[in-house]
Amino acid sequence: MKILLIESIPRKTGHTYKLAQHFKDGLVSSGADFKTIDLFNYNIKPCKGCYICWSKTPGKCVIHDDMEVLMESFLESDIIFLITPMYHYTMNCEMLKFLERTLPFSKYGFNSSPLGLMRNSIRYPEKWKNKKLGLLTCGAFKEYDNFSAITRTFELIANGMNLDTCGILIRPESYLLRFKPAKPKTITNIEKAFERAGYELGTNGSIRKETIDNAKAPIVKTTEMYISYARIYWEYVKEAYDQGINDENIIAARVTKDPVILMRELNSYINPVSTAKVIATLYFHFTDRNLKFIININKGKSELITDKEPDKYDLKVETDSKTWGDLFLGDINPRDALIGKKIILKGDKHLFLNLEKYFPPPSD
C-alpha cells in the first residue's frame, strides 16, 4: 500500500504543519510506504479549462510543468492524503490548483455516483481500484460547522473522482495548541490522536471514528471562553509587534500566564464533590495590573466575577500576575511563594491550601 501526502502548508511553524508531523510520526511507526509532496516546492500553473486533455491529447494536459510528475505519483498511489490549513472556509489556493489540474484523470461520459450525483467517467479505471482520498485540516474556529464547507468540498471531490474516503481529520481551536503548558494533558491527547491516525492509516488504510473524534476534542469548554481567550491573544500579539517582537514562543508564553485566562480556567475546574459543603468567597487581587476577581463557591458550584471588589470575603489572595502564572503552571512551589511573600493571604488560609482540591486541573 502506497500513501501519498499532498501538503499545501505555507507556514512551517504553523499548527497544520505541526499536526502533520504528528500524523507522519504515526505513519513511520506503522511501517507504511509513504512520501510527502510539498506543493510550495513545485511550479503548478492553474487549469485553463480548455478540455484539450479530453479531446486532442486524451489524458495529457496542454500545460507542461511540475504537475506532470505529481500526476504520475498520484496514479501510482493507493491513498492520497491532503493536508491543508483552512482558508476562507475551504482549502487554500495551492491545494485547489493541484486538484483542478487532475482533470486529465477523468473523461467525457456521465454516470451516477453513490451520492446520487452526476459525475464524469474515470480515465484509468484499472488504476482506480481501492484508491482512497483523505484530508487533514486545521483552523481557528471552535464550532465544527465552520468546517462544513471544506469537508463538503472534500467529500464532493472524492465522490466526483470516484475515490473512497479514508478519514477526515479536523482540528478546531488551532491557535490554542501552542499553549500546551496550560493544557498539557488535553493537548498531548490531541497530538497523540493525530499520531494514532497516521498509524491507523498506515496499518489499516483508514482512520477509526474514535480517533477522528479525539483529534477534534475541545480544548476549552465554552464558546464564550474561547472568544475571550482569542481577544486576549490578539492583544498580546499587537503589544509584542509594537515592541518589535515577532517570536510566537514569546507571545505564547505571555498569553499562557495571563491572569484573566488563568482565573477563567480555575473557575471551570470546580470539583462538585470536594466543594459540596463549601460556601466561601475568594477574592484575588493582581497588584501589578490592578485586576480583581471574585470566585463564589456555593455547595458544589462556583461563579467568577471580574473587575469587582467584594464587600466581604473569606480569603483574599494578593499577588502579581507573573507569580500567579508561575504557580498555576507549576513553575514555583506555593510554600516558597508564601515564604518569599510573593503571595499575601488574608482570611482563612486553609481555603488557599485546598484550592487544588477544590479546583483540580482536568485529568483528560
Query: pTM score, two decimals?
Result: 0.85
Yes or no: say if 143 and 223 are a contact pair by the CB < 8 Å rule: yes
In terms of Cα–Cα distance, which of 133, 132, 110 is closest to 121? 110
Task: Tell me which amino acid residue 47 is.
Answer: C
Rounded Cα–Cα distance for residues 163 and 177 (Å): 32
Digit-coded pLDDT (tens) for 145-168: 999 999 999 999 999 999 999 999
Rounded Cα–Cα distance for residues 9 and 15 (Å): 10
Residue 43 exposed, middle or buried by CB count within 10 Å (0-12, 13-18, 19+): exposed
Domain range summary for the chain, segments of one domain joined by +: 2-215, 222-256, 257-358
Rounded Cα–Cα distance for residues 193 and 211 (Å): 6
Rounded Cα–Cα distance for residues 340 and 96 (Å): 58
Digit-coded pLDDT (tens) for 64-78: 999 999 999 999 999
Rounded Cα–Cα distance for residues 132 and 126 (Å): 14
Phi-psi region of 34 (alpha: psi -120 to 50; beta: other; left: phi over 0): beta
Yes or no: say if 157 and 99 are a contact pair by the CB < 8 Å rule: yes
| Antiparallel, parallel or unpaired: β 118-122 and 106-112 | antiparallel
CATH 1.20.58.1610 fits 2-215, yes or no: no
Angle 259-268/223-242 helices, nearest 10 degrees?
A: 160
Digit-coded pLDDT (tens) for 243-253: 999 888 888 88
Percent of the chain at pLDDT exceeding 90: 83
CA distances from 61 to 105, 116, 126 (A): 10, 29, 20
pLDDT means per 10 residues, the chain with 364 residues, are 97 94 98 98 96 96 97 97 97 97 95 90 93 97 95 96 97 90 87 98 98 96 88 90 88 88 91 96 96 97 95 96 89 92 96 94 62
| Antiparallel, parallel or unpaired: β 301-306 and 291-298 | antiparallel
DSSP 153: H
The class that CATH gives domain 257-358 is: alpha beta
Digit-coded pLDDT (tens) for 206-225: 999 999 999 999 999 889 88
